[in-house]
C-alpha cells in the first residue's frame, strides 16, 4: 500500500519529532517513520541521561508548544565553570566562569532529562493531526519524477515531495543516497552516570579538562542530582565501565571532587565511543539531512542536540517559506538554501570543538600554563565573556524564527 505525504521524516528520536511538529503546524502533511516504540523512552524511570538545552533551543520548544510540559522538570543552568583539572587535585588556579546574570535573556540553558524530553515530544506528536506515525524502519528510497518513494520494513510504501533523514550518525537515509562521510575517532569513550550529592549544585555546570579527556558535571532538577559525562581513553574507559558500582564510584570520586559533599550513584551507567562524523553533503534531490545524520560532534560543549534543533529550525523555515511561495519543496535549489545556511557554521563549530578537545587533552606543562592563563584572561574581560555566554546560549548568528521563539 502506498501512502502520500508532503514530507517523510526518517528517525523519531528528538530532532525528527521536533521537525515534524514545526512542519505540521505550518499546514504540511508529515509521515514520521521510526521502528522504536515512542513510549519506551518517555516512560522510562530516572537514569540521569539528560541534555543541555541552550536558551535558543528552549525558545524553539516554546514556539512548538512543548516547553510548558517540560518546564517543571527543567533545571536552569545559571553558571558554567571551566578549568583544567587532575584527579585528586581539584580545579586549576585559573578558571573561566560564565554567569547568566550577565545577559538579559535569563538562564543560558536548561538541563532536561532524556525521558521528559521524549515524553513531551511524543505527546505533542500524538496530538497533532497533521502527523502520521509509522512504527517501521525506512529500508529503501528512490526518486520517481517529482516524488521520492520510501519503502518500509512492513512492506508499505510512502511517497512524498521530500525525505528528511534524522536517523543518526549511521544514517541509512544518507547511505542510500550515496552521501559519503568524513570523520575520525577520538580514541575516547564517554562514561555517563547520574550521582546524588549532599550539597545543592545551585544550577552550576562544571567542566574539568583532564589529560585523558573532559569531565562534565551537569546540574539536574531538585538541586541534589547531577549528570556526569566523563571522557576517558578507550582502554581506561573499558576497564572502568567493567567495574561494579562501588569501585566505579571510587574511580570517579577523586575526579569529581568534594565540593558537593559525599556522592552516590543514582540510576544506570552508560558508555559510548566518541568520534567526529560529518556528511559531505546535507542535501540531494528530494532529500535533506538534519541532526547527527548531518554532523556528529564531540560532546565537550554539550552542543549536539542544540545543533540538531538549529537544523530543524532552519530547514522548517526554508521548506515552509518555499511551500508558501508555490515552489517545489524537494528541489535542489530550495534545499540548497538550507545547506548554505547551516553547513558552514556547523562545520566550523565541529572542527572548533575538535581543536578544543585536542588542546585541553594535552598534558604538556607549557601548554597547560598557557591555556590556564588564557582562561583567566578571558574571565577578566567582561565584553568577551558576555560574547562567549551568548554563543553558548545559541543567541548569536542568523537565527531562524523558531530559535527566536517566533512561529513560522
Segment (H or E) for 173: helix 172-176
For residue 223, give the DSSP letter: S
User: For the domain with range 2-45+115-182+276-362, which CATH number is right: 3.40.50.2300, 3.40.50.1000, 3.50.50.60, 3.30.365.10?
Assistant: 3.50.50.60
pTM of the full structure:
0.92
Give the pLDDT score at 385: 78
For residue 260, give the DSSP letter: T
Give the pLDDT score at 363: 63
Give the pLDDT score at 88: 54
Query: Closest Cα to residue 359, out of 182, 189, 211?
Result: 211
CA atoms within 13 A on the CB side of 187: 6
Task: Put residue 222 in one of left, alpha, beta given phi > 0 → left and psi -120 to 50 → alpha.
Answer: left
- Is residue 2 within 8 Å of residue 142, measured between CB atoms? no
Give the pLDDT score at 384: 75
Cell digits of residue 24: 505540521
For residue 242, give the DSSP letter: T
Residues of the chain falling short of pLDDT 70: 1, 37-48, 85-95, 301, 356-379
Cα 115-63-47 angle, rounded to 5 deg = 10
- Is residue 49 within 8 Å of residue 113, measured between CB atoms? yes
Give the pLDDT score at 1: 62
pLDDT in tens, 228-261: 999 999 999 999 999 999 999 999 999 998 999 9
Amino acid at each position: 500500500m502506498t501512502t502520500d505525504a508532503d514530507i517523510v521524516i526518517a528517525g523519531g528520536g528528538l530532532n525528527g519529532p521536533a521537525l515534524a511538529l514545526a512542519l505540521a503546524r505550518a499546514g504540511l502533511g508529515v509521515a514520521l517513520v521510526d521502528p522504536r516504540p515512542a513510549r519506551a523512552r518517555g516512560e522510562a524511570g530516572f537514569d540521569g541521561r539528560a541534555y543541555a538545552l541552550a536558551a535558543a533551543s528552549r525558545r524553539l520548544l516554546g514556539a512548538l508548544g512543548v516547553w510548558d510540559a517540560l518546564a517543571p522538570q527543567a533545571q536552569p543552568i545559571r553558571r558554567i565553570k571551566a578549568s583544567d583539572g587532575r584527579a585528586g587535585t581539584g580545579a586549576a588556579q585559573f578558571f573561566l566562569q560564565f554567569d547568566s546574570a550577565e545577559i538579559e535573556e535569563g538562564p543560558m540553558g536548561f538541563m532536561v532529562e532524556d525521558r521528559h524530553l521524549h515524553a513531551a515530544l511524543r505527546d505533542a506528536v500524538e496530538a497533532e493531526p497533521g502527523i502520521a506515525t509509522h512504527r517501521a524502519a525506512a529500508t529503501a528510497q528512490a526518486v520517481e519524477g517529482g516524488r521520492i518513494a520510501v519503502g518500509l520494513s512492513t512492506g508499505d510504501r510512502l511517497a512524498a515531495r521530500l525525505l528528511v533523514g534524522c536517523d543518526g550518525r549511521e544514517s541509512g537515509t544518507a547511505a542510500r543516497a550515496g552521501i559519503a562521510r568524513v570523520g575520525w575517532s577520538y580514541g575516547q569513550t564517554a562514561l555517563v552516570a547520574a550521582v546524588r550529592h549532599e550539597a545543592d549544585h545551585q544550577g552550576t555546570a562544571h567542566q574539568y579538562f583532564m589529560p585523558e579527556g573532559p569531565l562534565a558535571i551537569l546540574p539536574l532538577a531538585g538541586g541534589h542530582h547531577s549528570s556526569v559525562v566523563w571522557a576517558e581513553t578507550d582502554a581506561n574507559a573499558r576497564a572502568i565501565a567493567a567495574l561494579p558500582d562501588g569501585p566505579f564510584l571510587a574511580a570517579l570520586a577523586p575526579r569529581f571532587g568534594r565540593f558537593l559533599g559525599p556522592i552516590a550513584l543514582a540510576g544506570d551507567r552508560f558508555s559510548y565511543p566518541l568520534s567526529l562524523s560529518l556528511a559531505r553533503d546535507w542535501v540531494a534531490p528530494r532529500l535533506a539531512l538534519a541532526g547527527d545524520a548531518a554532523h556528529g560532534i564531540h560532546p565537550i560543549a554539550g552542543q549536539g542536540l542544540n545543533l540538531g534543533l538549529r537544523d530543524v529550525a532552519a530547514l522548517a523555515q526554508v521548506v515552509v517559506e518555499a511551500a508558501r511561495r508555490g515552489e517545489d519543496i524537494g528541489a535542489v535549489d530550495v534545499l540548497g538554501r538550507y545547506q548554505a545556511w547551516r553547513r558552514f557554521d556547523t562545520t566550523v563549530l565541529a572542527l572548533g570543538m575538535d581543536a578544543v578537545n585536542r588542546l585541553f587533552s594535552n598534558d604538556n606543562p607549557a601548554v597547560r600554563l598557557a591555556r590556564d592563563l588564557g582562561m583567566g584572561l578571558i574571565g577578566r574581560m567582561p565584553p568577551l565573556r558576555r560574547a562567549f555566554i551568548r554563543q553558548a546560549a545559541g543567541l548569536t548568528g542568523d537565527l531562524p524564527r523558531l530559535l527566536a521563539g517566533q512561529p513560522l
